[in-house]
Chain A
């Protein structure tokens, strides 16, 4: 198991990706502790507007990086994880060793959970850094409420992977993308149909600040989402794993 996980770490270029995470951390650190005190010192009471502007920029930068990382994981990690072995026929090699289909599938699922944990931990620690020394109420509301939804974002990522992974074990890396492509096409058509027939004024009313203020005014709704997210996603992930083991054994050594 450890060998399979280490193999996935190297094929996924884990070092480079951790270095990229470090780069994002450094960017946030420089903005938080160098640029903001330079342009809007906290003790200068005549610079409150500047302070609000720079803190809002920092929070927006954090949220952008956060959402980008989650989208990156959702969009690329699963497909790269499966493509790496299928393309090079390394799966056949590992299955010729004393590695069962169950262990092979298990390594993929555990690796994905490790990726989610690392991502969740990075965004949690980054949020503490961003929140430190924050003065303006609006910026603090934005970051606190967004951070409260972090667990739900992570659970959504896990849930989507639970839906996607069995397709790869059943159909292989090339055809396994059907779920993701179907989801993307479906979302595209929903957006197009809404743009054609829906209420476009909604986009004027909904903003990040309004959404975070709504979360602040409805703490029980946030609590409910925090509770339901792991209850839905983790059992789904386990069921997906059991399904994938069966599909992988059924598919056997058939490769594209």
Chain B
């Protein structure tokens, strides 16, 4: 295990990943792009496209780094892109978890939030989407299917973070620290977008620094889930599916949220995310504590 070469590869990868994405996002937002609700559809749609391109940059960075450092491009096996799929030895469970764990956690998180703000749940808002409450499970399932098949953007990110950076960090620092450091790096990578309204919008308490902190924590927790899935399945695909579902799935609690019904701290997006993230955080903390025990049992 050549640690110097591993550190060199990490540096080159981060230079590419941050250079490509920050080089695209910072000028774009500096020239007027944002997520603000006051934007015209012109700017909002362009922001979506910029984000989609950004999601492919980690994979591009991996290809560049592997090319420069002569690491090769194996599709399967150790130190590979982990593009193989195997459903044997109960690995199919990872794919099911990838599709359904995050929506379940998001719903639980939403209901935890509504414990603090019961008046904010308004099922009549579903009518704006042409849906009734009893048919909503079908809509949620359809959004999960759609996200699963359209996971190319998420695949681009996961190839970079979970199949390349996290294993390299694990070589240097061990599994637990790899999840924490990797989550921090992944969170910082999103900073230009968060500073301009991604995830939290604008005008929230402590903007943008509270957003930076909370999103980084979210990345640590979600990144841990994604990495554990990757290790368990020996494949990047469950992580790509889970990432895509996390970005796109509809949940009942999210669509029924009436923003003008909450007051005080709960009206701030950072506090809302902090509460709704509790289920994911709990699972991630348990995995981080027990992750060393999984070491020999993971098929990786």
Taking the closest CB of chain A, its distance from the CB of B226, in whole angstroms, is 20
Contact mask for chain A residues 210-238; partner B; CB cutoff 8 A; 1 contact, 0 none: 00000000111001101100100000000
Report whether over half of chain A's contact residues are helix, strand or loop; otherwise say mixed.
helix
Which residues of the partner chain B approach A134 to less than 8 Å between Cβ atoms?
41-42, 45
Contact mask for chain B residues 95-138; partner A; CB cutoff 8 A; 1 contact, 0 none: 00000000000000000000000000000000001110001001
User: Which of A2, A125, A135, A154 is the most central at the interface, judged by chain B CB atoms within 10 Å of its CB?
Assistant: A125
Which residues of the partner chain B approach A2 to less than 8 Å between Cβ atoms?
75-76
**Complex contact A227–B142 (CB within 8 A):** yes
Of chain A, the residue at the smallest CB distance from B45 is A132
Asked if A121 lies at the interface with its beta carbon under 8 angstroms from chain B, I say yes
Contact mask for chain A residues 126-144; partner B; CB cutoff 8 A; 1 contact, 0 none: 0011011111000010000
**Complex contact A219–B131 (CB within 8 A):** yes
Q: How far is B142's CA from A226's CA once the two chains are assembled, in angstroms?
A: 6
**Complex contact A128–B42 (CB within 8 A):** no
Which residues of the partner chain B approach A218 to less than 8 Å between Cβ atoms?
130
Asked if B63 lies at the interface with its beta carbon under 8 angstroms from chain A, I say no
**Complex contact A135–B150 (CB within 8 A):** no
Which residues of the partner chain B approach A125 to less than 8 Å between Cβ atoms?
52, 152-153
Of chain B, the residue at the smallest CB distance from A223 is B142
Please count how many residues in chain B sit with their CB below 8 Å of the partner chain's CB atoms: 26
Of chain B, the residue at the smallest CB distance from A231 is B145
Asked if A124 lies at the interface with its beta carbon under 8 angstroms from chain B, I say yes
Which residues of the partner chain B approach A101 to less than 8 Å between Cβ atoms?
none
Across the interface, A132 reaches (CB within 8 A) one of B49, B129, B150, namely B49
Across the interface, B149 reaches (CB within 8 A) one of A133, A154, A223, A224, namely A154
Which residues of the partner chain B approach A223 to less than 8 Å between Cβ atoms?
131, 135, 138-139, 142
Contact residues of B between 61 and 104, Cβ < 8 Å to A: 75-76
Of chain A, the residue at the smallest CB distance from B40 is A135
**Complex contact B49–A128 (CB within 8 A):** yes
**Complex contact A132–B48 (CB within 8 A):** yes
Asked if A151 lies at the interface with its beta carbon under 8 angstroms from chain B, I say yes
Which residues of the partner chain B approach A246 to less than 8 Å between Cβ atoms?
none
Of chain B, the residue at the smallest CB distance from A226 is B142
Q: How far is B48's CA from A128's CA once the two chains are assembled, in angstroms?
A: 7
Asked if B19 lies at the interface with its beta carbon under 8 angstroms from chain A, I say no
* 4 residue pairs, one from A and one from B, having the closest CB atoms: A132-B49, A121-B152, A219-B130, A226-B142
Which B residues form the contact surface with A (CB < 8 A)?
Answer: 40-43, 45-46, 48-50, 52, 75-76, 129-131, 135, 138-139, 141-142, 145-146, 149-150, 152-153
